[in-house]
């Protein structure tokens, strides 16, 4: 099976998510900060036209992501979604104005080069199209436990970098788990059509976990600076997706001395994410750290 269709669809998914991120962050900065986990945050955001536009972009991105996952490995598709960050900033420049500095373009280059070198060194295999149920049980338990722990750690902190990073870590896990469930659900569609798709528990699983991921990511954006949340979300989603691909779908990556260029590539991705998150345009897209928590929220 050729890897290029999955790469193309993954790039289109990253572009859709980049547009969604720019629109949703633009909407999120109009909502007052909260000192607690706001379950009603999505309700407030749904009254913003920019957020609704972002949701449409999310739906389009999800369709491209499903196509990518049906054609290729989870450990290939999800790391490509790291490109959402530079694409969000490029699109945000068009929406909000401003310019991308030399450091910003350096960050974009670092992410592209780092991602390309890491994937080339890892050379992930496609693996199986569907994960056995026996593998899902421990994966779901571990993901739920870590999400609960990181959310709990975030709620014990006041607004700031640590809180934002904890929420971002929980969102990264939820996004990676959503993709894994979606990959299983797309197989059900291919094997049995719409009836099998809607009869599959994975279909409802990725819908529920996807909403949870949006909620956690929205709180991460509001909880502190983008320099704390974005690198954690960027690197975390790629690493968790790689782990789920290996444990659930028998995808394989090269080990041994190949781990060195793989680690170097991921370090470049992290460096690039840090550079981009420090940009004035990125802070304008986040907007949350410039506000004060709303009383009584």
Q: What are the pLDDT digits (tens) for 64-103?
A: 988 898 888 888 888 887 788 788 777 877 766 666 778 7
How far is residue 135 CA from its own chain's centroid? 23
Residues 17/58, Cβ–Cβ less than 8 Å: yes
Residue 87 lies in a domain: yes
Mean pLDDT, the chain, integer: 82
Residue 128 has pLDDT above 90, yes or no: no
Residue 297 lies in a domain: no
Give the pLDDT of residue 172.
93
Residue 33 has pLDDT above 90, yes or no: no
Residue 296 lies in a domain: no
Give the pLDDT of residue 103.
78
Give the pLDDT of residue 73.
87
Residue 17 lies in a domain: yes
CA dist 268 and 277 (Å) reads 14
Give the pLDDT of residue 5.
83
- Which residue, among 281, 270, 275, has the nearest Cα to 93 in the 3D structure? 281
Residue 177 lies in a domain: yes
Q: Which residue has the higher pLDDT, 28 or 101?
A: 101
Task: Summarize the confidence of residues 127-147 as an average pLDDT.
Answer: 92
Residue 295 lies in a domain: no
Give the pLDDT of residue 293.
38
Residues 16/60, Cβ–Cβ less than 8 Å: yes
Task: Summarize the confidence of residues 44-70 as an average pLDDT.
Answer: 81
Give the structural domain span for 73: 4-290
Residue 115 lies in a domain: yes
User: How many separate domains does the chain show?
Assistant: 1
CA dist 178 and 77 (Å) reads 13
């Amino acid at each position: 099976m050729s890897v290029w269709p999955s790469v193309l669809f993954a790039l289109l998914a990253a572009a859709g998510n980049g547009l969604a991120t720019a629109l949703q962050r633009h909407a999120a900065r109009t909502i007052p900060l909260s000192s607690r986990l706001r379950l009603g945050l999505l309700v407030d955001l749904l009254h913003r036209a920019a957020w609704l536009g972002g949701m449409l972009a999310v739906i389009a991105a999800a369709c491209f992501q499903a196509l990518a996952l049906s054609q290729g490995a989870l450990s290939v598709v999800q790391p490509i979604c790291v490109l959402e960050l530079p694409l969000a900033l490029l699109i945000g420049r068009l929406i909000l104005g401003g310019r991308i500095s030399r450091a910003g373009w350096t960050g974009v280059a670092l992410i592209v080069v780092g991602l390309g070198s890491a994937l080339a060194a890892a050379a992930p295999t496609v693996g199986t199209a569907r994960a056995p149920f026996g593998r899902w049980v421990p994966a779901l338990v571990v993901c739920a436990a870590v999400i609960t722990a990181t959310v709990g750690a975030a709620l014990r902190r006041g607004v700031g970098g640590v809180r934002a990073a904890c929420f971002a870590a929980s969102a990264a896990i939820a996004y990676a788990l959503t993709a894994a469930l979606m990959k299983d659900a797309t197989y059900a569609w291919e094997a049995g059509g719409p009836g099998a798709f809607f009869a599959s528990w994975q279909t409802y699983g990725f819908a529920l976990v996807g909403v949870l991921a949006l909620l956690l990511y929205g709180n991460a954006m509001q909880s502190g600076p983008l320099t704390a949340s974005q690198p954690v979300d960027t690197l975390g989603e790629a690493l968790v997706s790689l782990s789920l691909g290996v444990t659930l779908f028998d995808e394989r990556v090269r080990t041994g001395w190949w781990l060195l260029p793989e680690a170097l590539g991921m370090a470049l991705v992290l460096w690039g994410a840090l550079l981009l998150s420090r940009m004035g345009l990125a802070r304008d897209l986040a907007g949350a750290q410039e506000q004060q928590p709303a009383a009584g929220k």
